[in-house]
Amino acid sequence: MAASSSLSLLPSSFGGVDTPKPKVSSINFSHSPFPLPPSSSCSHQNRRLKTLRVSASVSVSNPQVRTGPDDLVASILSKVLQTDGGVLLKDKDHEEVAEVAQELKNFCVNEPVKCPLIFGEWDVVYCSRPTSPGGGYRSALGRLFFKTKQMIQVVEAPDIVLNKVSFTALGFLEGEVSLKGKLKALDGEWIQVVFEAPELKVGSLELQYGGQSEVKLQITYVDEKVRLGKGSRGSLFVFKRI
Task: Output the tens digit of pLDDT for each of the chain's 242 residues.
Answer: 333 333 333 335 566 544 444 443 333 443 343 333 344 457 545 544 444 443 333 333 344 555 799 999 999 999 999 999 999 999 999 999 999 999 999 999 999 999 999 999 999 999 998 777 766 666 666 667 778 889 999 999 999 999 999 998 888 889 999 999 999 999 999 999 999 999 999 988 999 999 999 999 999 999 999 999 999 999 999 999 99
* pTM, to two decimals: 0.75
Contact status, residue 101 vs residue 79, Cβ threshold 8 Å: no
Residue 200: Cβ-neighbour burial (10 angstroms; 0-12, 13-18, 19+) = middle
Contact status, residue 84 vs residue 148, Cβ threshold 8 Å: yes
Residue 68: Cβ-neighbour burial (10 angstroms; 0-12, 13-18, 19+) = middle
For each of the domains in the chain, give its residue range(s) and CATH number, in order of start. 11-22+34-47+67-241 (2.40.128)
C-alpha 240/C-alpha 118 separation (Å) is 11
Contact status, residue 200 vs residue 45, Cβ threshold 8 Å: no
